[in-house]
Chains A and B, each alone.
Chain A
């Protein structure tokens, strides 16, 4: 048995694998001896002139595509988000406008209760001190009468406010 017939060692097999890969792709993980790569490339070029076989080209393309990351379309997404934010802001502003114009009310905008109504309320709230039910009913009736007057003012204000 000559030394060439001996079984290749694991190290030799690994080196051959890296060399084959380097010849095919131009690089290999872990690197390869430069002199061996040069010699192998020279031999291969002398054989087929460096032409890439269609099957191999297809395989390389498929592998490259499977490993390739999709292009990150950051600008497009940014514009889309900006557009959505703009729309949302416009919607919120429009909503606030509607709410504000729809509800011009505030406690301060309601007509102020007249002093007579407040006095009637005081009398009705202290009516428990009165012994007779008739006196209590009188206090409630006075409150009802003053509230009815105030109600007229209230609705006049609301009619004006809501255009009725």
Chain B
């Protein structure tokens, strides 16, 4: 079917105007978005720190369930995928794995640690902690191979960090 040249021109013009109208609000709203994101930036930090304080207090009274709940809630509330968010999430997951390991719930400890490691490994102390706590959980489960693998990976990272520390470099 042959398209009428006039209707084709009108369609093209309409598409161009629609594109323009779609882009315009985006550009106009960037400053507003920036303002909103700047305001919300620190919320997750405050929530995570508060959850850690609550967990410390509750663990001191023997309330592991309460501590666990506080840490789970804080971890779930972090949305960003930046390095800072990742570090805090890995630390929260390490604490959760450690609490469950302390309760001899080794499977749950492995799950928490694996969840953290699935967020992305790096040559940092947070990844190492998760590997160590998961290695201990695997060891208690009788999985010596998996435990050795995690211990080995943890040692490789720690040695790298120690080298940098001794050389005065920031990792």
In the complex, whether B19 has a CB less than 8 A from a CB of chain A is yes
CA distance in complex: A143, B94 (Å): 11
Residue in B12, B20, B84, B101 whose CB lies within 8 Å of A83: B20
Q: Is the CB of B52 within 8 A of A118?
A: no
Q: Is the CB of B49 within 8 A of A125?
A: no
Q: Is the CB of A115 within 8 A of B83?
A: no
Please name all residues of chain B whose beta carbon is closer than 8 Å to the beta carbon of A122 when the two chains form the complex: 155, 158-159, 162
In the complex, whether A41 has a CB less than 8 A from a CB of chain B is no
**Given known contacts A87-B24, A118-B125, A136-B136, A80 and B84 CB-to-CB distance under 8 angstroms:** no
**Given known contacts A98-B33, A140-B98, A125 and B38 CB-to-CB distance under 8 angstroms:** no
Q: Is the CB of B37 within 8 A of A98?
A: yes
* Cβ contacts A126-146/B at 8 Å (1 or 0 each): 111000000010001001100
Q: Is the CB of B132 within 8 A of A125?
A: yes
The number of chain B residues touching the other chain, given as a range, is 35 or more
Please name all residues of chain B whose beta carbon is closer than 8 Å to the beta carbon of A117 when the two chains form the complex: 125
Residue in B30, B135, B165 whose CB lies within 8 Å of A95: B30
In the complex, whether A59 has a CB less than 8 A from a CB of chain B is no
Chain B contacts with A in 58-108, Cβ cutoff 8 A: 80, 82-84, 87-88, 91, 94, 98, 101
CA distance in complex: A20, B158 (Å): 98
Please name all residues of chain B whose beta carbon is closer than 8 Å to the beta carbon of A155 when the two chains form the complex: 45, 48-49, 52
Q: Is the CB of A113 within 8 A of B30?
A: no
In the complex, whether A108 has a CB less than 8 A from a CB of chain B is yes
Closest to A112 in B: B170
Please name all residues of chain B whose beta carbon is closer than 8 Å to the beta carbon of A158 when the two chains form the complex: 45, 49, 84, 88
- Report A's interface with B, CB cutoff 8 A: 69-70, 73, 77, 80, 83-84, 87-88, 90-91, 94-95, 97-98, 101-103, 105-110, 112-113, 115, 117-118, 121-122, 124-128, 136, 140, 143-144, 147-148, 150-151, 154-155, 158-159, 161-164
- Report B's interface with A, CB cutoff 8 A: 5-6, 9, 12, 16, 19-20, 23-24, 26-27, 30-31, 33-34, 37-38, 41-42, 45-46, 48-49, 52, 56, 80, 82-84, 87-88, 91, 94, 98, 101, 122, 124-125, 128-129, 131-133, 135-136, 139, 147-148, 151, 154-155, 158-159, 161-162, 164-165, 170-171
Give me 27 A-to-B residue pairs in the complex whose CB atoms sit less than 8 angstroms apart, sorted by A's number: A69-B5, A70-B9, A73-B9, A84-B16, A87-B24, A97-B34, A98-B30, A98-B37, A102-B34, A103-B84, A105-B82, A109-B83, A110-B84, A118-B158, A121-B132, A125-B131, A127-B136, A128-B139, A140-B133, A147-B125, A151-B91, A154-B87, A154-B91, A162-B41, A162-B42, A162-B45, A164-B45
